[in-house]
Every structure is written in C-alpha cells, then in structure tokens.
Amino acid sequence: MAIHPTAIVAPGAELHPSCEIGPYAVIGPRVRMGPGNVVGAHAVVEGNTTIGAGNRIFAHAVVGAPPQDLKYRGEDTRLEMGDGNLVREFASIHTGTVGGGGVTRLASQCLIMASAHVAHDVHLGDRCIVATFCALAGHVEAEDGVIFGGVSAVQQFSRIGRLAYVGGLTGVNMDVAPYLMASGPRGEIVGINLIGLQRAGFTEEQVGRVKDAYRIVYRSKLPLQDALAQVRSELGQHPEILHWVKFIEGSQRGIMR
C-alpha cells in the first residue's frame, strides 16, 4: 500500500493493499476501499463510505461528508460507490439521509467533474457524467448514461432517464424522459439525444422507434395518457420503448415537455 507520510488514515479504515493515498489526504475511520483506488493530495474521504475497485479521487475532492440537510441529526447514513469512477478536483459527494433511504449511490464508470456537487440520496447509474459546476440536489435519480452539462442544476426528487442529456446552464425541475435532451434556464425538451443513442449502440430501427414514440407524446396534441396508450399499442413490444413508457408513467413530479 502506498500511503504518503503526510496522509492521515484513521484507525478502523479498511483499505486494500493496492490503494494509493496522496500527500495530506485524510481517510476517515469508517471508510472501506477495494483494490486499485487512488486518492489525490488534500482529498478527504470520510463517513460510512464504501468504495469499490479502480476509482480515482483527485486533489481536494470531498467524498462521504455529511449531507447539507437541516433535518440531518448525525444518523448513520452511507455513501456507496462502484468501480472505475473518477471524482475530479473540488467535487463533493455526500452521504444519504434517513428520509431519503439512507444511502447516496454511484454505480460504476461515472465521471464527476471539477467542482460538481452530488447531494444526499442521489442515485447515479453506470457511465453518468456530471460536468463542472453542475449541482444535483438531494434525492435526484439518474439512470445509466445520463450526461449533465456544465453549470446545470437539478431540483430535488427529479428523475433523469437513461441516455438523456441535460445541456449546460439548464435548470431541471421536472422529470426528463429517457433518450431526450433538455435545455434552457427553465428547462424544456428540445429533441432526442441521437448522438448519445448512436454511441450507446442503438440500431437504426431502435432510433426510429424512439423518434416515433417522441412524435406521438411530444408532437401530437393527444392528452398524455392517450399518447402513452398509443405508444404502448404500437411500439410497446420493444424493450427500449417499454422502458420509456414505464418511466413516464412512473413520474411523480411530471415530465418535462
């Protein structure tokens, strides 16, 4: 294990022998790290935090700090991170709250860019990107492959669907359905994330079905429930469309239109 002489690793921390801890980094007593993790200079990893394998936490990042929630009273809540995540300089990721299920969770292969904030009880799927100065408020849920542009902000309890794209400087206060793009200070849907779908391996037929579903729900004048019923009837046998319909039907905040 490579621990710099100036680093502070509290008694009780469980670090795999292959971990590297940089100068002046601080590791709390309840931190557990798997193999191949690297913690940069002056970074802080604290709280009841479990980190998988091959993550890199860069200089001055804060991972596992208590939530910024006035209702928090020191309860035993957690942060869980999977494998291969990158947490860049000055980013912050906080533990959960009792009211939000008690756990903040990042899956694997996520990129949290410099000075971004991931608040309490946020759940990020695999391969999400949270760009510089983006702020995800408490209880936000993002499915696999979501990209948040720089200086975007997502209101608490919002849901962002698979392979959606939130543009820079965008404010999100409602759910963003899978495969779509949101943009603008008061965010609205501006189209389909075609590049994201292609990069994710969607075939031309799958992209065509997404376009058809989008046209029915967002471009027809049908009431939402009637539009969803039509999509189910015409395209619901295809998994990517069934997921899209179920996401919209499960919205509590309402979907961004």
Q: Give catalytic residue positions.
A: 120-121, 138
> Is there a contact between 148 and 111 (Cβ–Cβ < 8 Å)?
no
CA 243 to chain centre: 18
Pairing of strands 180-183, 188-192: antiparallel
**Would you state the torsion angle of the CA atoms of residues 126, 127, 133, 137, taken in this order, to the nearest 10 degrees?**
-20
Question: CA 129, CA 106: separation in Å to the nearest integer?
Answer: 11
Helix, strand or coil for residue 257?
A: coil
Q: How many residues does the chain have?
A: 257
- Residue 168 is which amino acid? G
Tokens of residue 194, six digits: 């075609």
Q: How far, CA to CA in Å, does 224 sit from each of 188, 199, 221, 250? A: 16, 29, 9, 13
Those residues whose C-beta lies under 8 Å from the C-beta of residue 204, and which sit 6 or more positions away, are none
